[in-house]
Amino acid sequence: MAPSATSPNASPDSTGNAGQPVKVGQSAKAPSDIAELSYEQARDELVAIVARLEAGQAPLEESMTLWERGEALAAHCTAWLDDAQARIATATTSNPAETEE
């Protein structure tokens, strides 16, 4: 999801708060909402946040809020990948006798 270009203080579209200034510690989506995102949704939002931060156009307060959300999204993506890796490991090592047949 791409960042909104409607205002220099706009937050990413995924927050539903485009064009509104973002305060430190404030986000339209609470971190608990991040848990509801698929890996792809979280990754796409994280990519948009990184692009916005790298552009350097966000004010300091908004940059801090974006960074905090980005950290939470990165942790969520890591959890998805760790779970997938564990499931693959379990599936490939759970019962070697069944795979030999």
Q: How far apart are the C-alpha atoms of 34 and 75, rounded to whole Å? A: 10
Residue 85: predicted pLDDT: 96
- The reply to whether 33 falls in a domain is yes
- What is the total count of domains within the chain? 1
Mean pLDDT for all residues in the chain: 76
- The reply to whether 34 falls in a domain is yes
| Residue 52 backbone dihedrals phi, psi, to 5 degrees | -65, -45
Express as a percent the part of the chain with pLDDT over 70.
63
Residue 97: pLDDT band (50, 70, 90) is low
Q: How far apart are the C-alpha atoms of 1 and 17, rounded to whole Å? A: 13
Encode pLDDT of 14-57 as tens digits: 443 433 334 444 444 557 799 999 999 999 999 999 999 999 99
- The reply to whether 4 falls in a domain is no
Decide: 53 and 63 in contact? Cβ < 8 Å.
Answer: yes
Between the alpha carbon of residue 94 and those of residues 2, 67, 99, the distances in Å are 41, 40, 10
Range of the domain at 74: 13-100
- The reply to whether 2 falls in a domain is no
Residue 31: predicted pLDDT: 72
Decide: 14 and 49 in contact? Cβ < 8 Å.
Answer: no
